[in-house]
Structure 1
């Protein structure tokens, strides 16, 4: 079932996702390294002190790129993939606009990153800027809504929704456990992703016309 869906327009999905991600990161890193104004530090909360640094959360953090690729990978037509790309692209553009108008960053974590090679690499590529709202969280939440809506067309056990939700929650947790984000970033990112998903909700929902023929 899933392999049949993934094979549909595989190269279109593969190159399209790569191109989308590359364009996003080019803009993201430009704003990260060249903020338009003074950078605001997002404050810590009690929750940030309760969640310890956990280097083992790094694979979960990086799994976002697999998670947000699942909706387009499981779609059947190019039109569906393009439609999804435009909608999540709107979320990303809105987030980048916030970073341009309000450059912000998380406070230093005071951790010796050299002791954790994987984390040191991540910190070198994705510094502590462009923090609030967390687009890592927002895109995960956005994808979670789409996967929730797609479950009926996938003809899988509805428990798949619980698995998807648990994966999303794990990604959200990982943003704090890796000290890439703080609680305020996560809260605002969750709200932002939810609002954008509901505002850009497909009509009709992806059910009829989204299933493989029997």
Structure 2
């Protein structure tokens, strides 16, 4: 009996982890430089707007949840991990079109946030906390003074990253646990914005709304880019 030749699609199929590895190796220099420049440029604009508000910032109100979530020095690790987490969608972009879609959506969201910060300056309340008891948070409080509060771009970037990663993981048929890790990581970052007292609940909800709108608009514009691989 003559064996049946393998179909072209089966010959092209690779395990999900190898597919992700191939994606990381694609345009890796462009991705690395572009991500570094993008984050650096964002920080420059973010801190300039924070330190040059056109009017007195509005103090964001607290909710019962803000009182319930305790201050945590350990949350600083989760808070800082955002900057690695948000680099993953670009690193896993399959080609130039997908890389551009990632950069475009992140830039649009950052631009909207910065415009809101400029025209509606906000800040978190002065919390009755002795930051000397939280050494990991002291540096954060010295550099990021709690301005640019609403919407929380920290939360917005975490949520947008989760959506982008979800699309990419589905495209390579990654197992469910990879999606769970991504979602839990994102939720940890959201929690950290409250536990570090960098944001209050209203800021968090604003960041989620902003990310949801940008994600929806990005999907509508780039349906073909995010097609199944």
Q: TM-score when scaled to structure 2?
A: 0.87
> Match of 2:224?
204
The one of 165, 174, 191 aligned to 1:156: 174
The one of 68, 81, 85 aligned to 1:67: 85
**Superposed CA offset, 1:125-172 (max 9, x none):** 211000010000011111111111112223311332222111111110
2:95 matched to 1:77?
yes
> Match of 1:88?
106
Matched-pair contact (CA < 8 Å) for 1:138–1:193: yes
> Match of 1:140?
158
Q: TM-score when scaled to structure 1?
A: 0.93
Q: Matches of 1:3 and 1:118 in 2, distance apart?
A: 34
Query: Following TM superposition, by how much is the alpha carbon of 1:112 offset from its aligned partner in structure 2, in angstroms?
Result: 1.8
Report which of the two structures shows the higher radius of gyration computed on alpha carbons.
Answer: 2
**Superposed CA offset, 1:41-61 (max 9, x none):** 001111101101011111011
Query: Following TM superposition, by how much is the alpha carbon of 1:83 offset from its aligned partner in structure 2, in angstroms?
Result: 2.3
> Match of 2:73?
55
Q: Structure 1, unaligned stretches of length 5 or more?
A: none
Q: Tell me whether 67-76 or 113-122 shows the greater mean CA deviation.
A: 113-122
Q: Matches of 1:112 and 1:6 in 2, distance apart?
A: 43
Query: Following TM superposition, by how much is the alpha carbon of 1:205 offset from its aligned partner in structure 2, in angstroms?
Result: 5.5
Query: Following TM superposition, by how much is the alpha carbon of 1:99 offset from its aligned partner in structure 2, in angstroms?
Result: 0.2
Instruction: Please tell me the root mean square deviation across aligned C-alpha atoms, in Å.
Output: 1.4
> Match of 2:8?
none
2:53 matched to 1:7?
no
Matched-pair contact (CA < 8 Å) for 2:97–2:225: no
